[in-house]
Structure 1
Amino acid sequence: MYELLKSLMTEVLLLDVDGVRPDASREDAGLDSLAVVELSMVLSQRHGIEITDDELLELDTVAEIVALMEQRTAGV
């Protein structure tokens, strides 16, 4: 799931690949509020993973986003 998120963040949102690490904070990875909204839409529309932008803004690290993605896809 991390590779999917990394791909979306670097190829769709055009964030710097060096900043997208599991231990990186949301801010260090480049996920400002606009990017968070875009990520939420891409996850929903392309991958059927429903995570709101508000939920993403509550998470601190890339690893926490991956964990929530895994939780939302469990059993699907």
Structure 2
Amino acid sequence: MTGDLTRILTDDLKLPADRLTDDASLDHAGFDSLAVVELSVLLTDRYGIDISDSDIKNAATLGRLDLLITTKRNGR
């Protein structure tokens, strides 16, 4: 998982750092419906990328979420 995502999850969303591994599910990492919405807004504000709430929810693991964000940031 990239440092950018880790910082967002720990600093902005206040998720527990010890649960943030590539293979962790969103539920295990501490995501709730509010965290999903907040992450979507943060990604738009900071990086200008549009990742919907459903795209975030459909990422099975934090590693897949990180890949999705990286792909969107690189314009692919």
TM-score in terms of structure 1 length: 0.91
Which residue of structure 2 lines up, in the alignment, with residue 63 of structure 1? Answer: 63
C-alpha deviation, 1:2, in angstroms: 1.6
Shift of 1:75: 4.2
Aligned alpha-carbon RMSD (Å): 1.5
CA shift, 1:72, in A, is 0.5
Q: Which runs of 5+ in 2 are unaligned?
A: none
Q: Which consecutive unaligned segments of at least 5 residues does structure 1 have?
A: none
What is the TM-score of this pair, normalised by structure 2? Answer: 0.91
SS at match of 2:27: coil
Aligned counterpart, 2:13: 13
Equivalent residues in 2 for 1:22-61, closer than 5 Å = 22-61=22-61
| Structure 1 stretches of at least 4 aligned residues deviating more than 3 Å after TM superposition | none
